[in-house]
């Protein structure tokens, strides 16, 4: 069973779970993901692996309570169990010594960037990391990222910490500097990844993004996670989740992410109703 | 007593009612109807029906027991070779198999073999069938079965009965493969039929490990080396959906049939929001394809609330690959068949949602490699079906995960595993394969037949291995 060994609130509505999963921990590599279910009625939720501990047989998952399903997940406590957990899924990040690499993490995307930055550092790269959030209260993994980066740049939208800017501004400054950047790795909201791609494109610097489209089985069976990469349809679950950022059709991806927006609301309302005891008589 | 030329019809839900619910369409024979149908069997000595059955069920023998009212013996007869009769009775294309060879079919309708098989299996289940485990000795050899669809379940059942220690590894959270994610509840009830039959395998001693992706969680080589399995059977199915390659296929509202059916069947989206997985249906739905999966998609869409559901098929009605019963049921429920029609583009609005399916009309030309007449486009015949949802059911390729992570496992050009037709033996010693991963997308019973043949071969392989040790 998949016991929650540690639960930690990293920021408002951002949770960390360390979960007992020896078979997954044994195999997990940076860039891979898992799919979990909370209960019998639950959706299959894909989450990127934020860390793994092979000795302890555990993996770390970090998630933001954005919809009904992740809210339900956040209600689980230390010592409780996930109903289902499968992985590691997807192709691992290609890690080798490239030279100087820039790791960009935005919001909750900082979590999955962390093991990649660590892997790149261990492979002998100079790692410059740029992490950004709306505000300092919701900035996560600052210390962890600092520990695996040669240089850490922080940006916030409101200027409450680091530079008041989007992650693309210091990225552009790095590209304009006399440093030779061999690779940019970016994970965050789709819109951020799109602008990272646009920032690096004129410089011709190889840029990799990790995509999180809507997914069901995660093993290539349903095709729901298809993304257009260089005019070709790719399945994020088996061909990815990482792709060449300069070839990804981000517009189509953003549209597809919105497919179940109205149902999301309906699901949240249903769960809220259930929490209040099922009947709606009190609201009449 | 004069022999009726027609099968006893099976009671069904009224088409208007059932098109709005997920309960089973066919209700099954009553005891009376089953006995009457069993009376029609001539008990031919040559039993031509048996040669049409991929697993060679002793059909006259079990029907004789139904006639005699000895249901325990009837189920025992079937279970000698078929561990999933309640499934096969419902989803086998009997008209192309056993029933095709029935002597009665020469003059009228064949004996309703599938309906009787279903009756026997359902009666046994309702009675609380007793399955006893075959004791494994402590030195029993271990067999790993990858995938818990029809092929894997057939192998597992047969080898467990022979006393091997069998473990099934399933990637999804529930076992059953296509029986769970693909075939809809209204054709094959999940909790009452599929999981009960799978539980019977568990009672036989088969261990089922879910949430285990072979090729990732374990590789085949790890199973054989580190985990101590003496043989491996790969039955991972045809799990990679094909798309049409026409513009607009990534618009919101376009699904592969696999995704649409998985959301509904495995994830129970028809119970949304009580169940968390959503599904988009809209008012008008077009399903592209003419097989059972296409029928399932179109009929599921109706049940999810679609007002109009099309089947768009590029050949004519005669070439439809679906089972006759499914076509018949689909028509009764009001599915609108657009034959000789091929999609050329999915059209969408500025928000990225489907608004229509652009098609051309076709005519049939000379036969192609499949022996069927090739559809040819009629010039200037373009038109648009206005729909909100498009479901693509034009087939599936093999999932590459196991092949790409297993040393020395040969595949063919299409990426299917190369396996011996009679034994399922692959290029890798101790590794066998069968079902859709070998043949490409086919039927439940053919996959079970391949599983049964592989079970015989695996038994032989393991006996020899033991002797040589």
Q: Chain B residues with CB-CB distance to A under 8 A?
A: 171-173, 181, 210-213, 216-218, 239-241, 243, 249-253, 255-256, 258-259, 262-263, 267-268, 271-278, 280, 351-352, 399-401
pLDDT of residue A113: 96
pLDDT of residue B459: 96
Tens-binned pLDDT, residue by residue, of chain A (284 aa) = 799 999 999 988 899 999 999 999 999 999 999 999 999 999 999 999 999 999 999 999 999 998 889 999 999 999 999 999 999 999 999 999 999 999 999 999 999 999 999 999 999 999 999 999 999 999 999 999 999 999 999 999 999 999 999 999 999 999 999 999 999 999 999 999 999 999 999 999 999 999 999 999 999 999 999 999 998 999 999 999 999 999 999 999 999 999 998 888 888 888 888 765 545 444 44
pLDDT of residue B239: 81
When CB atoms are compared, the residue of B250, B351, B399 closest to A221 is: B399
- CA atoms in the 13 A half-sphere facing the CB of A56: 13
In DSSP notation, B21-84 reads --S-SB----HHHHHHHHHT----SS-HHHHTSTT---HHHHHHHHHHT-HHHHHHHHHTT-S-
User: Mean pLDDT across chain B, nearest whole number?
Assistant: 92
Percent share of chain B, pLDDT over 70: 98
**Residue-wise burial string across A147-161, b where 16 or more C-beta atoms lie within 10 A, e elsewhere:** ebbeebbbbbeeeeb
Are A68 and B277 inside 8 Å of each other by CB? no
Are A256 and B243 inside 8 Å of each other by CB? no
pLDDT one-digit tens code per residue, B387-405: 999 999 999 988 888 998 9
Q: Find the mean pLDDT for residues B87-98.
A: 88
Over the Cα atoms of chain B, what is R_g? 23
Are B173 and A258 inside 8 Å of each other by CB? no
Query: Sheet harboring A2-11: ordered strands across?
Result: A81-82, A2-11, A14-20, A58-64, A45-53, A33-37, A84-89
pLDDT of residue B325: 87
Burial (CB count <10 Å: 0-12, 13-18, 19+), residue A282: exposed
pLDDT of residue B221: 95
pLDDT of residue A275: 63
DSSP single-letter state for residue A2: E
Nearest chain B residue to A37 by CA: give it.
B173
Give the mutation candidate from B211, B237, B266 for the A interface (greatest A CB count, under 10 A). B211
Nearest chain A residue to B349 by CA: give it.
A255
CA distance A225 to chain B (A): 10
| Chain A residues within an 8 Å CB radius of B272 | 263, 266-267
Are B273 and A69 inside 8 Å of each other by CB? no
Are B241 and A69 inside 8 Å of each other by CB? no
pLDDT of residue B442: 86
pLDDT of residue B327: 95
Give the mutation candidate from B182, B216, B226, B271 for the A interface (greatest A CB count, under 10 A). B216
**pLDDT beyond 80 at B132:** no
Percent share of chain B, pLDDT over 90: 79
pLDDT one-digit tens code per residue, B307-343: 999 999 999 999 999 988 899 999 999 999 999 999 9
Between B137 and B77, where is the model more confident? B77
Listed as own residue / partner, the contacts of B79-84 with beta carbons closer than 8 Å and 24 or more positions apart are B81/B55, B81/B56, B81/B57, B81/B452, B82/B55, B82/B57, B82/B448, B83/B153, B83/B154, B83/B157, B83/B158, B83/B197, B83/B200, B83/B201, B84/B150, B84/B153, B84/B154, B84/B157, B84/B197, B84/B448
End-to-end CA distance of chain A: 42
In DSSP notation, B258-283 reads HHHHHHHHTS-GGGTTTSS------S
| Chain A residues within an 8 Å CB radius of B276 | 41-43, 68-69, 72, 267
When CB atoms are compared, the residue of B259, B271, B278 closest to A223 is: B259
Are A223 and B212 inside 8 Å of each other by CB? no
Distance between CA B372 and CA B319 in Å, rounded? 7
Coil, strand, or helix at residue B193?
helix
Are A41 and B276 inside 8 Å of each other by CB? yes
pLDDT of residue A282: 45
Distance between CA B303 and CA B206 in Å, rounded? 36
Give the mutation candidate from A41, A70, A85, A222 for the B interface (greatest B CB count, under 10 A). A222
Nearest chain A residue to B258 by CA: give it.
A222
pLDDT of residue B5: 86
Nearest chain B residue to A260 by CA: give it.
B278
pLDDT one-digit tens code per residue, B228-264: 999 999 999 988 899 999 999 999 999 999 999 999 9
In 3D, which of B132, B34, B134, B33 has the Cα closest to residue B74? Answer: B34
In DSSP notation, B367-411 reads E-TTSSEEEEEPTT--EEEE-SEEEE-S-EE---HHHHHSTT--B
CA distance B328 to chain A (A): 27
Question: Residue B34 has which token pair?
Answer: 């089953």
pLDDT one-digit tens code per residue, B113-122: 999 999 999 9
Question: Residue A31 has which token pair?
Answer: 């860039």
| Chain B residues within an 8 Å CB radius of A278 | none
């Amino acid at each position: 069973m998949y016991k929650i060994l540690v639960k930690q609130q990293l920021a408002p509505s951002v949770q960390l779970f360390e979960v007992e999963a020896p078979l997954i921990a044994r195999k997990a590599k940076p860039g891979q993901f898992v799919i979990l279910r909370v209960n019998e009625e639950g959706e299959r939720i894909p989450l990127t692996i934020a860390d793994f501990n092979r000795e302890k047989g555990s993996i770390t998952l970090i998630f933001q309570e954005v919809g009904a399903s992740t809210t339900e997940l956040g209600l689980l406590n230390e010592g409780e169990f996930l109903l289902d957990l499968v992985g590691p899924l997807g192709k691992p990040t290609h890690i080798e010594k490239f030279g100087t690499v820039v790791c960009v993490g935005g919001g909750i995307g900082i979590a999955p960037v962390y093991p990649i930055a660590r892997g790149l550092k261990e492979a002998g790269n100079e790692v410059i990391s740029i992490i950004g959030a709306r505000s300092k209260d919701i900035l996560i993994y600052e210390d962890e990222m600092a520990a695996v980066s040669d240089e850490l740049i922080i940006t916030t939208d409101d200027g409450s910490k680091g530079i008041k800017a989007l992650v693309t501004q210091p990225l552009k400054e790095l590209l304009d500097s006399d440093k030779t950047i061999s690779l940019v790795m970016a994970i965050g909201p789709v819109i951020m990844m799109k602008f990272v791609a646009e920032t690096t494109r004129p410089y011709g610097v190889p840029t990799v993004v990790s995509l999180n489209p809507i997914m069901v089985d995660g093993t290539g069976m349903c095709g729901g996670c298809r993304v257009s990469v260089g005019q070709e349809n790719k399945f994020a679950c088996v061909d990815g989740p990482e792709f060449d950022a300069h070839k990804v059709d981000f517009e189509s991806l953003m549209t597809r992410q919105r497919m179940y927006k109205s149902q999301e609301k309906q699901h949240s309302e249903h769960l809220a109703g259930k929490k209040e005891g099922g009947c709606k008589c009190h609201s009449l | 007593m004069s022999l009726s030329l027609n099968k006893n019809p099976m009671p069904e839900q009224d088409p208007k009612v059932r098109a709005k619910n997920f309960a089973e369409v066919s209700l099954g024979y009553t005891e009376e109807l089953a006995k009457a149908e069993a009376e029609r069997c001539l008990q031919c000595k040559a039993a031509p029906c048996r040669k049409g059955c991929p697993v060679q069920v002793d059909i006259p023998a079990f029907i004789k027991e139904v006639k005699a009212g000895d249901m325990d013996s009837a189920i025992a007869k079937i279970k000698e070779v078929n561990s999933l009769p309640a499934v096969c009775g419902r989803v086998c294309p009997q008209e192309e198999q056993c029933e095709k060879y029935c002597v009665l079919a020469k003059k009228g309708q064949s004996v309703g073999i599938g309906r009787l098989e279903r009756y026997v299996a359902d009666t046994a289940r309702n009675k609380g069938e007793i399955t006893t485990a075959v004791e494994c000795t402590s030195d029993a050899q271990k067999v790993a079965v990858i995938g818990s669809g029809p092929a894997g379940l057939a192998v597992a059942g047969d080898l467990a009965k022979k006393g091997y220690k069998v473990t099934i590894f399933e990637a999804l959270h529930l076992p059953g493969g296509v029986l769970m994610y693909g075939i809809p509840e209204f054709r094959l009830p999940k909790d009452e039929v599929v999981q009960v039959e799978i539980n019977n395998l568990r009672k036989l001693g088969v261990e089922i490990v879910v949430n285990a992706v072979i090729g990732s969680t374990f590789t085949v080589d790890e199973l054989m080396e580190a985990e101590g399995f003496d043989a491996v059977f790969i039955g991972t199915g045809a799990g990679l959906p094909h798309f049409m390659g026409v513009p607009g296929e990534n618009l919101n509202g376009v699904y592969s049939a696999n995704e649409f059916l998985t959301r509904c069947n495995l994830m129970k989206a028809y119970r949304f929001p009580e169940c968390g997985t959503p599904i988009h249906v809209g008012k008008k739905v077009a399903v592209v394809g003419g097989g059972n999966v296409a029928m399932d998609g179109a009929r599921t869409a109706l049940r999810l609330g679609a007002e109009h559901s099309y089947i768009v098929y590029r050949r004519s009605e005669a070439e439809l690959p679906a089972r006759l019963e499914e076509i018949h049921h689909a028509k009764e429920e009001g599915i609108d068949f657009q034959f000789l029609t091929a999609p050329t583009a999915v059209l969408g609005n500025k928000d990225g949602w489907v608004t229509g399916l652009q098609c051309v009309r076709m005519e049939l030309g000379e036969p192609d490699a499949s022996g069927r007449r090739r559809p040819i486009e009629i010039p200037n015949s373009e038109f648009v079906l206005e729909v909100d949802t498009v479901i693509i059911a034009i087939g599936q390729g093999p999932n590459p995960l196991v092949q790409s992570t297993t040393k020395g496992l040969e595949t063919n050009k299409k990426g299917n595993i190369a396996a011996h037709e009679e034994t399922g033996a692959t290029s890798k010693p101790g590794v066998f394969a069968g079902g859709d991963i070998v043949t490409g997308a086919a039927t439940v019973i053919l996959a079970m037949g391949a599983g049964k043949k592989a079970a015989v071969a695996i038994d032989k392989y393991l006996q020899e291995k033991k002797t040589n040790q």
